[in-house]
Amino acid sequence: MDLVNRIRSLVEEELEGSEFFIVDVISGDKSKKISVLLDGDNGITIQKCAQVSRSVSNIIDEDEFESEAFIMEIGSPGADKPLINSRQYAKHIGRELMVELKDETIINGKISVVSDTEIELEPTGKKKKKKSAKAGIKTGPIEVEEKQSILFNNILQSTVVISFK
């Protein structure tokens, strides 16, 4: 088992039975840095990330399964990071989401429902952005006009729109 998969496995064991989950495990191509992004159904604290980091580090130190030095970071994805795991959507119900679909359409809407297979967006009440007359070039996301269901497997990327109101 390679290092990244071993760390993923150890973190999964540490989180088993809790409300916390792995969002992503990122390994640098040339660097020996491994970043583990965690989240929870109600968010995650720095203290929880530190506790998981200490626990996994202790196991790694005891097992001595890696001869080369590496850096492991365990944290949470920032507010500007795309939603990757379907479990991340539920805690954002009521917030505005920008969703890029696999057909390259980008839409905006307020997330109102999350199921195992899809999300539902409803209008945010903002004015719609229109397509440019030139060759159909989009000037921005298209605001949903009515409730719209989107299957997770049709989503390329979703990002919470941060508001400073």
The model's pLDDT over 63-114, given as tens digits with 9 standing for 90+, comes to 766 567 788 999 999 888 999 888 999 999 999 999 999 998 999 999 999 9
User: Would 81 be classed as within a structural domain?
Assistant: no
User: Would 95 be classed as within a structural domain?
Assistant: yes
User: Would 80 be classed as within a structural domain?
Assistant: no
CB of 82 closer than 8 Å to CB of 74? no
140 and 91 share a domain?
yes
43 and 94 share a domain?
no
Q: How many domains does the chain have?
A: 2
Closest CA to 105 of 131, 69, 76, 68: 131
> pTM here?
0.77
Q: Which residues contact 140 (CB under 8 A, 6 or more apart)?
A: 106, 129
The CATH code of the domain that includes 94 is 2.30.30.100
CA–CA separation, 48 vs 137, rounded Å? 45
52 and 10 share a domain?
yes
User: Would 165 be classed as within a structural domain?
Assistant: no
98 and 71 share a domain?
no
User: Would 101 be classed as within a structural domain?
Assistant: yes
93 and 33 share a domain?
no
Residue 132, pLDDT score: 46
Residue that is last in its domain, among 53, 75, 97 = 75
47 and 91 share a domain?
no
116 and 145 share a domain?
yes
Residue that is last in its domain, among 44, 75, 106 = 75
- Collapsing DSSP to helix, strand or coil, 38 comes out as strand
70 and 90 share a domain?
no
Bridge partners for 41 per DSSP: 43
CA–CA separation, 130 vs 144, rounded Å? 12
CA–CA separation, 112 vs 135, rounded Å? 33
Provide the domain limits for residue 138: 86-160
115 and 62 share a domain?
no
pLDDT digit string, tens, across residues 13-46: 999 999 999 999 999 777 788 999 999 988 999 9
Does 10 have pLDDT greater than 50? yes
Residue that is last in its domain, among 75, 108, 130 = 75
- Collapsing DSSP to helix, strand or coil, 156 comes out as strand
CA–CA separation, 133 vs 152, rounded Å? 31
CB of 95 closer than 8 Å to CB of 157? no
Distance of CA 57 to the CA centre of its chain: 24
User: Would 20 be classed as within a structural domain?
Assistant: yes
